[in-house]
């Protein structure tokens, strides 16, 4: 870490900062201001500052709290299993076997698939009348009656979570695979001599050597999944009976209804919550440097 004063870091950071400032600075400031107004474009003549009343309204809104709870479940289950399967896949893809290149390529498919298609395809698979999942389950006699997966309050949310897990596996697999390439092989060789088991090697060598990547990818993915709208929206639009409406979908609905003040306030609340999630990592990151 270089600590003396030099112009270099600023020069290196400049292009990135410039592009970001140029494009999103004004819109974001604008959104923050909107959150303190009753900014509802359906009634533009009534727009005025109203202090914190959007935030107060959100706190009183049972749908807000319901959506928040669902967002937490969505993120914990979604990112948790994405990571688990992604990590396993990365470890497997790091091993030598025939056709590895092809397997690596095809395992990226969920990520390549356009978001528009993901929601619709899964909706089609889950379909209660013609869906292939019901047919498969019937064939193996796992069920006797077709399950309308996306039409029941109890099954709709787990179903969309499975979809987001599916979609996110390749991200973790790829990132962790890349990080695994940087792990020096001589440590493994040394541990082989010491007679360490595969499990010990994983816990004691692999995970510590890629821990930064694990933390960063998990954090970025949490932010991404918490904000994702298209999978849920294309599958259920938040229904039935709000059972799949996460906070991001709620904000999206309010935003689309042009109640931008309320939507912005909820978005800021969500950003603050996400920041709380990020704090431990940031702290760790900054502390190590000192």
Partner 1 sequence: MKQVDMKKIFCVYLPLIVILLFILFPFYWTLITSVKPEDELYGTVVTYWPRAFTLESYRKLFTTTVNFFGAIKNSFLVATMTTLVSLTASTLAAYAFSRYQFAGRKILMCTFLCNNMFPTVLLLIPLYSIMRKMGLLYTPTSLVLSYTTFTIPFSVWLLLGFLNDLPMSLEEAALVDGCNRGVAFVRIILPILGPCLVATGVYIFMTSWNEYTFAVMFTNAETRTIPVALKSLIGQLGVQWDLLTAGGIITIIPVCIMFFFAQKRLVEGLTAGAVKG
Partner 2 sequence: MKQRLLGKKTMAIAMAALMAAGTMTGCSAGGKENTETAETTKKETTGAVTATSTAKDGQASTGEIKPCTIKFRYWADNTDYSQLMQDIIKKFNAENGKGITVVGEETPWDGGAYSENLFNAKMGGGDIDCATWKLTSTPLFVNNDLLADLTPFIDAWDKKSDIDENIYNIMVEAGDMERVYVMPWNIQVLYVYYRPSIFKKAGIEVPKTYEEFLEAIEKCTMDTNGDGKTDVYGFGMRGAKGGQEPWGSFVNGRGGSFKDLTTPEAVQGMQDFVDVYKKGYVPPTAISDGFSEIIANFKSGLTAMTIHHTGSSKDMEKVFGDDVSAFPFPTGKGQWTSMGDTETVIFNSCENKAAAFEWVSYLAAGEGQKMWCEGTGNVPVSKSIQASDFFQNNRFMKASIDGQGYAGIVPILDTTTEWISSLWPNTVSQALTGSITPEQCMRTLQDGLYQ
List the interface residues with partner 1, window 73-132 (CB under 8 A). 85, 88-89, 92, 95, 97, 101-118, 120-122, 124-125, 130-132
The per-residue DSSP string of 111-142 comes to: HHS-HHHHHHHHHHHH-TTT-HHHHHHHHTTS
The verdict on 119 binding partner 2 (CB under 8 A) reads no
Residue 271: which of partner 1, partner 2, none does it interact with, CB under 5 to 8 A by kind?
A: partner 1
Cα–Cα nearest to 122, from 159, 79, 76, 168:
159
Q: How far apart are CA 148 and CA 142, in angstroms?
A: 15
Stretch that binds partner 1, among 51-59, 64-72, 145-153, 251-259 (CB under 8 A): 251-259
The verdict on 148 binding partner 2 (CB under 8 A) reads yes
Residue in the block written with tokens 């502390």: 287
Looking only at residues 152 through 191 of this chain, which bind partner 2 when binding is defined by CB under 8 A?
A: 152-153, 156
Six token digits for residue 102: 């092809």
User: How many Cβ atoms from other residues are within 10 Å of residue 16's Cβ?
Assistant: 9
Residue 201: which of partner 1, partner 2, none does it interact with, CB under 5 to 8 A by kind?
A: none
The verdict on 239 binding partner 2 (CB under 8 A) reads yes
Residues that contact partner 1, how many (by CB under 8 A): 105
| Cis peptide upstream of residue 240 (ω within 30 degrees of 0) | yes
Residue 166: which of partner 1, partner 2, none does it interact with, CB under 5 to 8 A by kind?
A: partner 1
Residue 55: which of partner 2, partner 1, none does it interact with, CB under 5 to 8 A by kind?
A: none
Q: How far apart are CA 271 and CA 275, in angstroms?
A: 6
Q: Which residues face 40 on adjacent strands? A: 259
Tell the smallest beta-carbon distance from residue 173 to partner 1 (Å).
9
Looking only at residues 39 through 78 of this chain, which bind partner 2 when binding is defined by CB under 8 A?
A: 41-45
Closer residue to partner 2, CB minimum distance, 81 or 242 = 242
Closer residue to partner 1, CB minimum distance, 150 or 263 = 263
Cα–Cα nearest to 131, from 107, 155, 106, 167:
155
Task: State the DSSP code for 46.
Answer: G
Looking only at residues 176 through 205 of this chain, which bind partner 1 when binding is defined by CB under 8 A?
A: 177-179, 181-182, 184-186, 198
Tell the smallest beta-carbon distance from residue 140 to partner 1 (Å).
14
**Could you tell me the CA-to-CA distances from 228 to 1, 6, 35, 58, 225 in Å, in that order?**
36, 40, 21, 20, 5
Six token digits for residue 116: 């528009």
Contact residue for partner 2 among 137, 216, 258, 274 (CB under 8 A): 258
Can you say how many angstroms the Cα of residue 37 is from the centroid of all Cα atoms in its chain? 29
Residues forming contacts to partner 2 in the complex (CB under 8 A) are 41-45, 127-130, 145-146, 148, 150-153, 156, 236-242, 245, 253, 256-259
């Amino acid at each position: 870490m270089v600590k003396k004063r030099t112009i270099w870091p600023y020069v290196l950071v400049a292009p990135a900062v410039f592009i970001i400032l140029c494009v999103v600075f004004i819109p974001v400031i604008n959104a923050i201001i909107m959150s303190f107004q009753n900014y509802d474009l359906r009634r533009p003549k009534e727009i005025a500052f109203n202090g914190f009343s959007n935030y107060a309204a959100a706190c009183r809104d049972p749908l807000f709290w319901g959506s928040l709870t669902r967002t937490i479940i969505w993120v914990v289950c979604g990112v948790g299993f994405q990571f688990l399967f992604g990590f396993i896949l990365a470890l497997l893809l790091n091993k030598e076997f025939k056709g590895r290149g092809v397997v690596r390529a095809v395992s990226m498919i969920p990520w390549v698939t356009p978001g528009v298609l993901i929601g619709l395809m899964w909706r089609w698979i889950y379909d209660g009348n013609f869906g292939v999942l019901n047919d498969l389950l019937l064939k193996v006699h796992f069920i006797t009656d077709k399950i309308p997966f996306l039409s029941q309050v109890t099954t709709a949310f787990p179903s969309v979570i499975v979809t987001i897990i599916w979609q996110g596996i390749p991200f973790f697999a790829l990132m962790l695979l890349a990080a695994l390439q940087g792990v020096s092989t001589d440590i493994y060789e040394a541990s082989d001599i010491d007679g360490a088991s595969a499990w010990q090697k994983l816990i004691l060598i692999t995970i510590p050597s890629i821990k930064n990547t694990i933390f960063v990818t998990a954090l970025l993915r949490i932010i991404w999944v918490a904000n994702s709208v298209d999978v849920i929206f294309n599958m259920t639009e938040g229904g039935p009976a709000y059972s799949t409406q996460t906070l991001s979908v709620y904000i999206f609905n309010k935003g689309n209804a042009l109640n931008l003040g309320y939507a912005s306030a909820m978005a800021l609340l969500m950003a603050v919550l996400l920041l709380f999630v990020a704090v431990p990592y940031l702290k760790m990151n900054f502390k190590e440097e000192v």
